[in-house]
Structure 1
Amino acid sequence: MTAEFDVAVIGLGAMGSAALSHLSARGARTIGIDAYFPAHALSSSHGDSRLIRLGYFEDPSYVPLLQRAYRNWRALETRLRADILTTTGVLQIGAEDSKVVAGTRASCKMHQLAHEVLDKGEMARRFPAFQLGDDDIAVLDPQGGYLRPEAAVMGYLKLAAGDGAVLHFGEPVTAIEPGDGGVTIRSAVGQYRASKVVVATGSWIGELVPQLQEHAVAIRQVVAWYQPRDGFSTEPQRMPCFLRDEGEEGSYFGFPAIGVDGVKVGRHAHFREPIDPSKPNPPVNDADTALLDGFIAKRLPAAAGLRVNAVTCRYTMLPSEDFLLDLAPGNPNVVVASPCSGHGFKFTSVVGEILADLALEGGTSLPIAAFSFDAMNRFVAARKAA
């Protein structure tokens, strides 16, 4: 027997679970299908913490979406009666003309966001865990902090189920077949019919969305945790979350001691090493730990105690390192969500709303023009021409 739904959501990680919750809350008949179980180790939605910040150095155009995301995160907390977003502030550190610092200040200026600019001396007085160079400054985003990814994903799934969604786990989807009358979803177990489908399968998205097979690249990411030498200065009250611009070496991110494993650090995109998403994440190796051990010893000496854990996860990158939130070309019944290029989790709460808009209305009033297939294709064409 073929089941009938208004919307099927394939992939129940961050974006898929949020979309399913928003859709179900609006009264849509929904089914969510995932090949694994919630917040599994091959997803991009685990690891106990994710940064959130308003002063977005990547592009000021993200800020309105972030403002909506903050509102939606607080609404989620109210519905769940649970803490998802914790405010610690976020420090964005580097040379005055670095991408992270200059970009953050530009976003703050354009959107009139509260922030502080701190020199090396002021940082030493207020946040002694950090070691700055002579030419470094820091921009403090007081509204920044961290999210709990597992709690968010499980919370969205709980709310979706409570609003009537059907949940199927451990069920790989093998094909989606759009047509004028809707979409047929085929899985290892059976098949389903839905008017619309949302594809939010992270690093596996190219398997169901042919237009992304060439462009969505899964890469290996590594993070490590350290028991701090100075537990006092690395507590959240004295050590905000941070981003650190190291110029040609890239940017690093980190969190204070918010869990039993201590201070967490990583380098954005790590070594940009492509991986096969169908295989387990490659293990942590000596080059990985040497990179992170060296960074924390140099820039966070108060935190550079015993490394107690290091794990691999994955980013799924587009050429522009932006998002993709759009209807599939030629298939208006298929909504494509992500890849989020390693900086998407903080937007989960608003992306869920956007995906529900696209599935139910065919469009959204929220600003997503930069996250379209057309925008991606223009970027790729311009890069090839250059």
Structure 2
Amino acid sequence: MGHDVIVVGLGGMGSASAHRLAAGGLRVLGLDRHPPAHDQGSSHGGSRITRQAYFEDPAYVPLLRRAGELWDAVAEESGRHLVDWSGGVMVGRPDGPTISGSLASARYWGLEHELLDAGQIHTRYPTLRPSDADVALVERRAGSVNPEESVRAHLDLAGRYGADLRHGETVLDWTATDAGVRVRTERATHEADRLVLAPGAWAPDLLADLGVPMQIERYVQFWFAPSDPAAFAGHPVYIWEGPGGRQFYGFGLGGDGTVKVAFFRGGDVCDPASIDRTVHPGEVEEIRAFAAPHVPGAVAEFVRAKTCMYTCTPDHHFVIAPHPAHPAVTVACGFSGHGFKFVPVVGEIVADLVTAGSTSHPIDLFDPARFSARSTPAHSTHFGEHVA
């Protein structure tokens, strides 16, 4: 059987793209070097934060609203539990980017939210220990997404709609041809009319001609047994901007009785082929020392840790667009450590770009041309002050 479109990479973004394309009636071939829902890239770890009062840039909010609708729809269609809407708490100084950016998005888009002072934070959330200068933005439409279950759900649905999904088949290179595209793997050469590249941390290799400088960074996710598990049952997700502007984030009690915490930025540059997957004692002590003054009960006893990777663009905004040199190729990459909450809407956008060449979703911020020396870097200045 011939294929209309090949999807390279079947993690979060690729699996959602394969689902939407197959649901639209296209003959889809999906390729991934690893088994389904693997832990070698960026779509693993049991939980990812989803939120809407987005400090990164107000331009993301319409996409987050649509993603929230789609998370619930995909959960219902697949029969898998994907999201816990436990609420979210952003904590930091009023003039820091976490609070000021979240508040700008909430106010611009009229999102339901509350702003609490330090005393109110501790009264409502006894697990949290803010300083006198800290405030918190609280929103209900936030929570935790399960990345592995998301990938499985989208792969299940893609297969249900007839997609041919092949795992354990590494893509070596691709070529745009007069007839469409050709993808060479370690096993075979595949041809199709169109190509979607959602390769995660392997983007720098497969998209070296895109003109986007992407850097792969190593991060560690940590799980601790809390001192009082009941205090973290149903706990909202949180992002805390601590000293020096560094952020860490955390979740409520998981099914195994642990809570997860991690740093948001500051990872080491790495290569996916040689990433150090050993978690060292000093790394455990670093996160414990940073988190303990703020959420002391969360980091009582270390249980385990696992590495993951961010594929970062210089401005930490995504790349979602037709390839500027090859109209038959659509790229979705550079999600910079904050992309997973967008997975289902990215799938919808990719399907639009493949089938129609455009989308009604606002994606100007994600144009790879912003890195061209001939263009001005993209800003959502029409939304107010840009928050990097």
Q: What is the TM-score normalised by the length of structure 2?
A: 0.94
State the Cα RMSD in Å: 1.7
CA distance in 1, matches of 2:375, 2:309: 22
CA distance in 1, matches of 2:277, 2:82: 30
Secondary structure of 1:219's match? strand
Secondary structure of 1:41's match? coil
Post-superposition offset of 1:71:
0.9
Post-superposition offset of 1:295:
2.0
Change in CA separation of 1:286 and 1:249 when aligned onto 2, cut-off 3 Å: farther
CA distance in 2, matches of 1:131, 1:73: 32
Contact persistence 1:6–1:29 (CA under 8 A): yes
The residue that corresponds to 1:56 in the other structure is 54
Q: 2:365 is matched by which residue type in structure 1? A: A
Change in CA separation of 1:379 and 1:84 when aligned onto 2, cut-off 3 Å: farther
Matching residue within 139, 156, 161 for 1:158: 156
Q: How many residues align?
A: 378
Contact persistence 1:268–1:342 (CA under 8 A): yes
Post-superposition offset of 1:82:
2.4
CA distance in 2, matches of 1:115, 1:18: 29
Q: 2:242 is matched by which residue type in structure 1? A: E
The residue that corresponds to 1:253 in the other structure is 249
Q: Does 1:86 align with 2:84?
A: yes
The residue that corresponds to 1:295 in the other structure is 290
The residue that corresponds to 2:146 in the other structure is 148
The residue that corresponds to 1:323 in the other structure is 318
Matching residue within 102, 105, 108 for 1:104: 102
Contact persistence 2:58–2:104 (CA under 8 A): yes
Change in CA separation of 1:213 and 1:40 when aligned onto 2, cut-off 3 Å: farther
Contact persistence 2:196–2:329 (CA under 8 A): yes
Contact persistence 2:218–2:309 (CA under 8 A): yes
Q: What is the TM-score normalised by the length of structure 1?
A: 0.94
Post-superposition offset of 1:185:
1.0
Q: Structure 1: any 5+ residue segments left out of the alignment? A: none
Cα deviation 1:136-170 (Å, max 9, x = unaligned): 01110111000011001001001101100001110
The residue that corresponds to 2:238 in the other structure is 242
The residue that corresponds to 1:5 in the other structure is 3
CA distance in 2, matches of 1:151, 1:382: 36
Contact persistence 2:211–2:371 (CA under 8 A): no
Matching residue within 275, 279, 282 for 1:284: 279
CA distance in 2, matches of 1:246, 1:41: 29
Secondary structure of 1:210's match? coil
Post-superposition offset of 1:43:
1.2
Secondary structure of 2:230's match? coil
Contact persistence 1:254–1:265 (CA under 8 A): yes
Matching residue within 358, 361, 369 for 2:356: 361
Contact persistence 1:34–1:171 (CA under 8 A): yes
The residue that corresponds to 1:137 in the other structure is 135
Q: 2:219 is matched by which residue type in structure 1? A: Q
Q: Structure 2: any 5+ residue segments left out of the alignment? A: 379-388
The residue that corresponds to 1:190 in the other structure is 188
The 5 Å alignment of 1:148-227 reads: 148-212=146-210, 215-227=213-225
Secondary structure of 1:133's match? coil
